Amino acid sequence: MGGFIAFVVVLILLVLILLSCIKIVPQANAYVVERLGAYQQTWSVGLHLKVPFLDKVAKRVILKEQVVDFAPQPVITKDNVTMRIDTVVFFQITDPKLYAYGVENPIMAIENLTATTLRNIIGEMELDQTLTSREVINTKMRASLDIATDPWGIKVNRVELKNIIPPSAIQDAMEKQMKAERERREAILRAEGEKKSTVLVAEGKKESAILEAEAEKQSAILRAEAEKEKMIREAEGEAEAILKVQKATADGIRMIREAGADEAVLKIKSLEAFEKAADGQATKIIIPSEIQGLAGLASSMKEVWK
């Protein structure tokens, strides 16, 4: 009975040992395996078996991209301004073996390396340049850290300056400068608005004057055309009246001739026409010679007719 129990115990121990030798590596992970204290191999994703009592998992490594937010570090600019800058580093482990044996504390090493690199870069820049050149600083730091961490099996993907905190006196001065700049821009915008308003008013007055002048011009043209039309119609009326008078005179002479009047009668009628003309505004009348001889005859005939 005792032998059976011992056999069962041994069998259970063997099963437990066998189970302990079976390892499953999850996704985005890697295991560094040592045999008798020396590096043996790196297990990737999947099922693995190790030699009992000889092999052990020395390091479990996460292969996903990791983010580390470091506390603000004091730095001094080229123009001797002390400020505090905190950084965020995005890195990824590319070689689990180098990561396990490259440096004792990789995160602390990256933090110290970030601080020293940041001091070197900021020390070559002035305050204003530091505040406006974040992208340049990020690029330089990433390149420097990536080279420095390559022997540790770490790849630095990005470095971001999270906050740049200048001294309180500098912040007050910057706020005053920004306030003055805003007031200056406001004054410029107000002046430009007033200038545009003045220009618009002047253009409106100019356009109004042009419209008034154009209206006056059109009115003068219409008045001149009306006066011209009036004179033309008066001239046409006078011409038509003269034509009617001449036509009436011509008709009268034709009727006298058709009635058989002799030359003496015609001359007397002509004399009567001159006599009517003398009743007008004319001060001098020229009588043809052939009519002058009949003047006495006309006077005699008037006496007889009376």
User: Which domain CATH number covers 71?
Assistant: 3.30.479.30
Q: Could you tell me which residues are beta bridge partners of residue 68? A: 89
Residue type, 83: M
> Using one digit for the tens of pLDDT, what is the confidence trace for 103-157?
889 999 999 999 999 999 998 888 888 888 889 999 999 999 999 999 999 999 9
Same-domain status, 41 and 96: no
The number of C-alpha atoms within 13 Å of 105 and in the hemisphere containing its C-beta is: 6
Same-domain status, 53 and 123: no
Last residue of a domain, one of 125, 140, 166: 166
Within-domain flag for 29:
yes
**Backbone dihedral region for residue 37 (phi beyond 0: left; psi -120 to 50: alpha; all else: beta):** left
What is the CA 211 to chain-centroid distance, rounded? Answer: 34
- 118-123 long-range contacts (CB < 8 A, ≥24 apart) are 118/73, 118/75, 118/85, 118/87, 119/73, 119/75, 119/76, 122/75, 122/76, 122/77, 122/83, 122/85, 123/75, 123/76, 123/77, 123/78
What pLDDT was estimated at residue 304?
39
Structure tokens at 217: 């011009």
| pTM of structure | 0.55
Same-domain status, 72 and 150: yes
Within-domain flag for 172:
no
**Angle at 128 (CA atoms; ends 123, 129), nearest 5 degrees:** 60
- 10 Å CB burial of residue 153 (0-12, 13-18, 19+) is buried
Same-domain status, 28 and 83: no
Same-domain status, 53 and 75: no
Same-domain status, 31 and 105: no
Secondary structure class of 280 (helix, strand, coil): coil
Within-domain flag for 131:
yes
Same-domain status, 58 and 78: no
190/9 Cα distance (integer angstroms): 95
Same-domain status, 72 and 127: yes
Same-domain status, 127 and 73: yes
Residues of the chain with pLDDT under 70: 1-2, 7, 252-253, 256-306
Last residue of a domain, one of 115, 141, 166: 166
The closest of 95, 92, 90, 91 to 30, measured between CA atoms, is 95
Within-domain flag for 78:
yes
Counting DSSP H helices and E strands in the chain, the numbers are 9, 9
Same-domain status, 149 and 72: yes
Within-domain flag for 39:
yes
Q: How many domains does the chain have?
A: 3
Within-domain flag for 118:
yes
Last residue of a domain, one of 107, 140, 166: 166
Same-domain status, 86 and 103: yes
Within-domain flag for 202:
no
**Structure-derived torsion over alpha carbons of residues 83, 89, 95, 96, reported in degrees to the nearest 10:** 100
Residue-number span of the structural domain to which 159 is assigned: 66-166
Within-domain flag for 219:
no
Which contiguous run of DSSP H or E holds residue 88? strand 82-93
Same-domain status, 107 and 160: yes
> Using one digit for the tens of pLDDT, what is the confidence trace for 28-59?
999 999 998 899 999 999 888 888 888 888 99
